[in-house]
A and B are shown apart, each in its own frame.
Chain A
Amino acid sequence: MALPKRIMKETERLVADPAPGITAAPHGDNLRYFDVTIQGPDGSPFQQGVFRLELFLPEEYPMSPPKVRFLTKIYHPNIDKLGRICLDILKDKWSPALQIRTVLLSIQALLSAPNPDDPLATDVAKHYKEDEKDAQRVSREWTEKYASN
């Protein structure tokens, strides 16, 4: 099936006018599959890190949300071992008015504002709740170990 116009427009803009700290490039052989990088936001334990993600637009997009997953290991209460992300707009709060750009900006914001009350990685969330300073130290260590180029 031909690529919908909306996806072409979004792709063009992502490449020509990328959001700060975010890159997204489609695969040559599958234009619904994107290689994404997100820089860790300044002031967060993920600062200086560059995290790789994969993003896939299902056939139903934009009626269904993109599927996004971290490929780089990250110590974050809302991201599990497999890189799956707990973010409402990727699930029940999806709206077709959202776009790839807004989704990636939301993920970037999630790095600045971990939410241990809605955890996906329960052990990390527990750590964040019990000793935030120490949990952030581990997040920084993982950033240095896995997300530095």
Chain B
Amino acid sequence: MKVHIKHWSAVAQWRWNTGNTAHDQDDEGDVCGICRVPYEGCCPSCKMPGDDCPLIWGECSHVFHMHCLLKWLGTAASKQQCPMDRRAWVTAERKANDPSSTTVS
């Protein structure tokens, strides 16, 4: 049997590599703990997901949309603490624009 391919469409999908393959315990999936939009979506101030609305990692292991976290840290009420565990926020070495931090499948 011969098969002739008449046309084909390429489909690509991307997601941030948060180092967290399992879903969160709270069954909400991988969402930003501040805006509750999936990591692969964008923060409420952005129109397009992707490199322009990257993630930020804390040394405490918590991950947020960078814009959401910076907005929080910009408020006096934050006391510069992680929203999840109230430890002092320290951004982890890992850079959101580091190619090794994203996967393409």
Contact = CB atoms under 8 A, between A and B. Distances in A.
Interface stretch (B3-11, B15-23, B32-40, B51-59): B32-40
Interface in B22-74: 33-37, 44, 68, 71-72
A63 B75 contact: yes
Contacts of B34: 62, 96-97
Given A5-B44, A95-B83, A95-B86, A63 B36 contact: no
Interface residues of A, number: 14
A95 B68 CA distance: 12
A5 B77 contact: no
B6 to A, nearest CB: 41
A4 interface: yes
A96 B44 contact: no
B36 A5 contact: yes
A64 B71 CA distance: 11
B24 to A, nearest CB: 12
B84 interface: yes
Contact of B37 (A6, A96, A97): A6
B65 to A, nearest CB: 11
Interface centre among A4, A64, A93, A97 (most CB of B within 10 A): A97
Contacts of A92: 77
Contacts, number: 36
Interface residues of B, number: 15
A4 B44 contact: yes
Nearest to A9: B36
Contact of A63 (B37, B72, B81): B72
Given A5-B36, A64-B77, A97 B83 contact: yes
Interface centre among A92, A94, A95 (most CB of B within 10 A): A95
A6 B36 contact: yes
Interface in B68-105: 68, 71-72, 75, 77, 81, 83-84, 86
Contacts of B77: 63-64, 92, 94
A6 B83 CA distance: 16
A6 B84 contact: no
Nearest to A64: B77
Interface of A: 4-6, 9-10, 62-64, 92-97
Shortest Cβ-Cβ A-B pairs, 3 listed: A97-B83, A95-B83, A97-B33
Given A4-B44, A5-B36, A95-B83, 6 more contacts: A5-B37, A6-B36, A6-B37, A62-B35, A94-B77, A97-B83
